[in-house]
Every structure is written in structure tokens, then in C-alpha cells.
Amino acid sequence: MSDQRRAAVLKAATRVIARDGLTASTASIAAEAGLSVGSLFNYFPTKTALINALYLHLKRDLAGAVVEPSIPPGPLRGRAWEAWRRWIRWGAADPDKQRVLMLIDVSHELTGRTREDGVEAMQGADSLFAEARPGGPFADQPLEFLVATVGAMAATTMEAVAREPEEFESRCSAGFAAVWAAIVISERPSGSDADERRSRP
């Protein structure tokens, strides 16, 4: 399959699955791509193969949007904010991609190998949030749990932005503040405020 034809099939599959869910027929995907069902199976031998390929395609597309161009060096929170902002913009620009990614992520169609490859594809983006893990509530938890938590909040934020594009900055900022507060322990208050809080039951 040429890269151009493969991209066209995956784009068509994204549109159809976003509309009809994972029960979408291969016939409808083939029709959307301008192919016969037989031709589609020449490219992807099974529907499961197509879904796994689509998942990796979307993961890599998201990863590219988040880490390219490279995020400039600086304080961790600032770098994480930039990664988050790019992540939300990616999903808001094409809600179908995010919707399909979430559908596949919780499906039984996804193989263990594909899931591992998806995690690897996102390492550049996820590593920024992983840096904030030590000392926080996720310090003793698997990295996958942290990534899933951040991803769930990102999905919620993307949906909110897709409904109200004019509120992008507000929703994006609120979502990031919630994520950051969830994975990083706030600095302890100092002085009399700290003493007063320690004296409370």
C-alpha cells in the first residue's frame, strides 16, 4: 500500500468510526475511502488489523503534535503546560481523532503489542508529566496509571473546548491546573498560616 493510500484509508476509518463506533462495518469504511471491500482487505487483512493500525496512527499523530517542534528548555511546569496546550489543541482541532482514540483504547480489539507501541510513541509527551511524579500522590503508582489519569482529564478538556471553541484558553488553563494539582504536592504553607493549620483537628 502506498503511504498516500494508507493515509486515506486511516482517515476514512477515523470519520466512520467516530460516527458509527467500533461496530462500523468494513464495507462502510471501504466506501468512505473509495475502495471495494476486497481492496480494503488487501491493505488490512482483518478489521482488527485496521483498528490496531489506526490506533498507532493516531497516537503517533498526537505525539508529533505535542513534541514537534521541540518544547524549549525551562521550568518543568512551563514545559508541561506547553505540552498540555498542544495536546488539547490537537484534539479540539479534530474531535473525531480524540473520540476514536478513546474508543479503541478501551476496546478488546487492541493488542498488547499495539498498546505498548502506543505508550512508546507518547514517551516524549508523557515524560514531562512523569517528571512531576516523585513526591506526589502518584509517586508509588505505575506510570501507566498517571498517564491514564492525565489522558482522561485531557479528553474531558478537549470535549469542553470542542463544544465551546471560544473558551479554549479558559478551559485549557482550568484543565491543566486540575492535572497539575493532582500529580504534584503543593508547597507547604509557611509561618503563622502553617502553625494554625497544624493546630486544627
Q: How far apart are CA 168 and CA 97, in angstroms?
A: 18
Low-confidence ranges of the chain (pLDDT < 70): 1, 185-201
* Spatial contact of 100 and 14, defined as CB atoms under 8 Å apart: yes
pLDDT of residue 128: 83
Average pLDDT, the chain: 88
Q: How far apart are CA 6 and CA 23, in angstroms?
A: 21
pLDDT of residue 185: 64
pLDDT of residue 189: 42
Could you tell me how far CA 37 lies from the centroid of its own chain? 30
* Spatial contact of 119 and 77, defined as CB atoms under 8 Å apart: no
H helix or E strand, kind and range, residue 58: helix 47-67
Domains along the chain with CATH numbers? 1-45 (1.10.10.60), 48-185 (1.10.357.10)
Q: Which DSSP string corresponds to 164-198?
A: -GGGHHHHHHHHHHHHHHHHSPPPPP-HHHHHHHH
pLDDT of residue 1: 59
At 157-183, the pLDDT tens digits run 999 998 999 999 999 999 999 999 998
* Spatial contact of 96 and 89, defined as CB atoms under 8 Å apart: no
Q: Which three cell numbers stand for residue 90?
A: 490537537
pLDDT of residue 199: 36
* Spatial contact of 49 and 71, defined as CB atoms under 8 Å apart: no
Omega before 45 within 30 of 0, i.e. cis: no
Percent of the chain with pLDDT over 70: 91
